[in-house]
Structure 1
Amino acid sequence: MKKWLLHGMLIAMFLVIIPGCSDRLDMEDATFPLLIGFDLDKKNEFIVYSTSPNFIKNIEKKTRELRVKPLTNRQSREKQDSYTPGVFQGRTIQVILVSKRILQQENWFRLTDVWFRDPKNPLTPRIIAFDGPLSDIIYLNPKDQPMLPLLLRDMVETKNIRSETVKTTLQGLHQQIREKGVTPVISEARVIDEQVALTGTTLLDHKGKFADSLNMQESILLRILQNNTKKSISLTIPIPGEMKIGPFHTDKLSLNADKIKAKIKTSFLHDKFQFDIHITMRVGLTERLFPYDVRSRGRELENKIIDQVQQQFDSLIKKIQADKIDPIGLGFYAQAHEYSQFKKVEDHWGESLAKADIQVSVKTIIGAMGTVK
């Protein structure tokens, strides 16, 4: 190879490699926030929290928490930099924790604008609503649990698989807010008896404003209506006619359900949308706290299960319609099957859905009753 060609290749490689190292930042010179939190104080002043891991030796505390009062989310980075030995790096964020007080404000989602404008920022952090002041959870720091950001991240992952909550990322929330046929849903956390608990799902309206909360069982029912259950789901229901004995709820029946399918038929009649939702599932009994001969009275028990599950679906539908929201995504079905009618109401779809006729029918088959009689 000619000498001039070799020199030219070496110079070209040098020019390519050097710019790639120009923004190098050593770990000891950086602060890696894993959690960012938004809240309002009693004076309605904007507060931003952050939680970062401690890499300094001989320090027992695993994390460092910061609290600043910026004018904007972007300004909070500079304010937090003034309290840390390293440069604030937003690309490591795993969780964005938003207080209920923030969610009750109009257009709060504009606070996330900086993450969408800077391509270095991740769009995959989990969005979690917190019912209470963020100080209650940020400074909790239980010694027998992982650091808070990793704990919340893993709780969302596992509870989402069990359909007990939803996994909504920053990008996912942005898409849900932009869609007219559905309203956003995010995970919800609380502190109960000084322990972090993921309690279900927060429902938002079309602008991302807080609308309502669902507990874990209601969250499971919502996932069934969305036709979005990951694996088998677990439900506990009361059985009418069975007695409660002493302090124990011995009138309850627990079951696992799988092979769940939700078929939705859509129409437009009498100036309103009609949705017929037919749900089928195979159930296995996992706990029965009252005497019952399932073998000879199995069909009767199936009918009782159907009645109770259907009542819970009806209650959830009434809550959704009262809030004038659509976390199920029925607007997608209206758009697909009754497009001309949907276009007339798409800008106020929640109000139209509140007037809709939504009927849910449930069919269950007991496929297993356990290994004991």
Structure 2
Amino acid sequence: MKTRWGILVTWAALLCCLTGCGKEVYIENQRFMVAEGIDFDEDKKLVIYTASPVFSREAKDRYKITSTTADTMRIGKKQLESQINGSFGPGKLQSMLIGKNLLQQTNVLPYLDVFFRDPKNEINANMIVVDGPVKEVMYADMRDKGQLGSVIKLMIESTYKGRISVLTTLQKFHQQLMDNTITPSITEMRVEKDDLVISGTTLLHKDGTYATSLNIQESSLLLLLQRNTNNPIPLTFHLPPEIFHSEEEMSYVSFNINKVKVNFKSKFEENHLTIDIRMKVQIDLMERMFTVDMEKQSKQLEQAVEDELKKECQAVIKKAQKHEVDPFGFGIYVRAHDYKNWKKVEDNWVETLSDATVNVSPKVSIKSTGVSE
């Protein structure tokens, strides 16, 4: 017993002699960048914006926006540090905003290089392309919404969960840009009457410059073609009114795609690529604004939805082909199924895809019509 008590006393004495690991850090003296944005000004100079929460009890604002003009992100950070009362705490970045104006003029990757070299930086931050000046987002009225960084993060993650936009982190963007089998796709945002709105998806060329944009409906179809179907994909179609003798303004049907089985085949014939995508699609009806006798006309409704789904999928693919991008990752499957021919086209894959014949053949079945039928 005495031995045991002796050991405990010895350990207690040693613990009392231990010192801290360093100088204490007060949270009110730290500036955690939760949102950062970059854009070009009228003179094509890089403008950097940061949003950081304010922890001081005396401060009236819940977050602070700082901005500077610099040649590089690293230089910009030093200049921003000279404007704040405290020091930047790295590794808390949640959102990285890129101005569309910058993307239309240059490859954004060199400006983001510092994030991939400095281990203190957060590469899991979500990327967002701003349709308009980044300044409009950073200085948007947040009085009835909350802190800017938290609001943007929640919007990006909730719209992705609802399958109306993509979700691309800095790390994923870097992978997409470096991989020959796919081109980057990034959530697009804009400001409408002082409100932040997710407007769709921005598609980039392989050189990191702006290619085109997809609206919300096209973004949902993009996720379908990417086989990103872990959550239901919502779609609304305007069917030809003559099919069910409905009025033009009432010929809408909405549904969720809950289960998809895809069969992907590719073949080269005299250097021309043909891709056949067959999909078995199970849907749940969520809204129908016209009258249908489901006992007699369910197959007719399935066929109408099937035809429209095929048409809209083909339109999204044609749009990507026109701008020579592959946000679907079709190259991943061509490489897996026909590696010999893939090696011949891997260095000019997007050009090959733009000239390819891509056929989408969905087979739709309605699994649920709701509780009212």
Q: Same fold (TM over 0.5)?
A: yes
Counterparts of 1:137-176 in structure 2, within 5 Å, are 137-176=137-176
Structure 1 partner of 2:305 = 305
Structure 1 partner of 2:59 = 59
Contact 2:32/2:52 (<8 A) preserved? yes
Structure 1 partner of 2:82 = 82
Structure 1 partner of 2:204 = 204
Contact 1:224/1:262 (<8 A) preserved? no
Q: CA deviation at 1:293?
A: 1.6
Query: Which range moves more in the overlay, 24-33 or 72-81?
Result: 24-33
Counterparts of 1:11-50 in structure 2, within 5 Å, are 21-22=21-22, 25-50=25-50
Aligned equivalents of 1:251, 1:116: Cα separation in 2: 50
Aligned equivalents of 2:233, 2:336: Cα separation in 1: 29
Counterparts of 1:225-304 in structure 2, within 5 Å, are 225-240=225-240, 241=242, 242-244=245-247, 249-304=249-304
- The answer on 1:321 being equivalent to 2:317 is no
Paired AA for residue 143 in structure 1 = R
TM-score (ref. length: structure 1) = 0.91
Contact 1:141/1:148 (<8 A) preserved? no
Contact 1:161/1:230 (<8 A) preserved? no
Paired AA for residue 133 in structure 2 = P
Structure 1 partner of 2:371 = 371
Aligned equivalents of 2:53, 2:173: Cα separation in 1: 26
Q: CA deviation at 1:10?
A: 6.0
Contact 2:28/2:54 (<8 A) preserved? no
RMSD: 2.2
Aligned equivalents of 1:357, 1:334: Cα separation in 2: 13
SS of residue matched to 1:274: strand
Q: Deviations over 1:287-315 (max 9, x none)?
A: 11122222211111111111111110111
SS of residue matched to 2:102: helix
Contact 1:162/1:230 (<8 A) preserved? no
SS of residue matched to 2:166: coil
Q: Deviations over 1:115-154 (max 9, x none)?
A: 2221111111101100000111111132211212111111
Question: Percentage identity across aligned positions?
Answer: 33
Aligned equivalents of 2:351, 2:98: Cα separation in 1: 26
Query: Which range moves more in the overlay, 256-265 or 131-140?
Result: 256-265
Paired AA for residue 75 in structure 1 = I
TM-score (ref. length: structure 2) = 0.91
Paired AA for residue 155 in structure 2 = M
Aligned equivalents of 1:28, 1:370: Cα separation in 2: 53
Structure 2 partner of 1:73 = 73
Aligned equivalents of 1:113, 1:65: Cα separation in 2: 23
Aligned equivalents of 1:25, 1:121: Cα separation in 2: 19
Q: CA deviation at 1:23?
A: 7.2
Contact 1:185/1:327 (<8 A) preserved? yes
Contact 2:141/2:195 (<8 A) preserved? no
Query: Which range moves more in the overlay, 215-224 or 340-349?
Result: 340-349
SS of residue matched to 1:230: coil
- The answer on 1:353 being equivalent to 2:357 is no
Aligned equivalents of 1:340, 1:226: Cα separation in 2: 23
SS of residue matched to 2:70: coil
Structure 2 partner of 1:102 = 102
- The answer on 1:133 being equivalent to 2:137 is no
Structure 1 partner of 2:344 = 344
Aligned equivalents of 1:109, 1:115: Cα separation in 2: 10
Cα pair distance change 1:35/1:23, threshold 3 Å? farther
Structure 2: runs of 5+ lacking an equivalent: none
Paired AA for residue 156 in structure 1 = I
Q: CA deviation at 1:243?
A: 4.3
Cα pair distance change 1:208/1:287, threshold 3 Å? same
Q: Deviations over 1:157-206 (max 9, x none)?
A: 12112221111111111111110011011111111222101122111111
Aligned equivalents of 1:168, 1:23: Cα separation in 2: 37
Paired AA for residue 167 in structure 2 = K
Paired AA for residue 255 in structure 1 = F
SS of residue matched to 1:91: coil
Cα pair distance change 1:24/1:330, threshold 3 Å? farther
Contact 1:80/1:88 (<8 A) preserved? no
Contact 2:284/2:367 (<8 A) preserved? yes
Aligned equivalents of 1:22, 1:369: Cα separation in 2: 64
Aligned equivalents of 1:10, 1:339: Cα separation in 2: 64
Structure 1 partner of 2:333 = 333
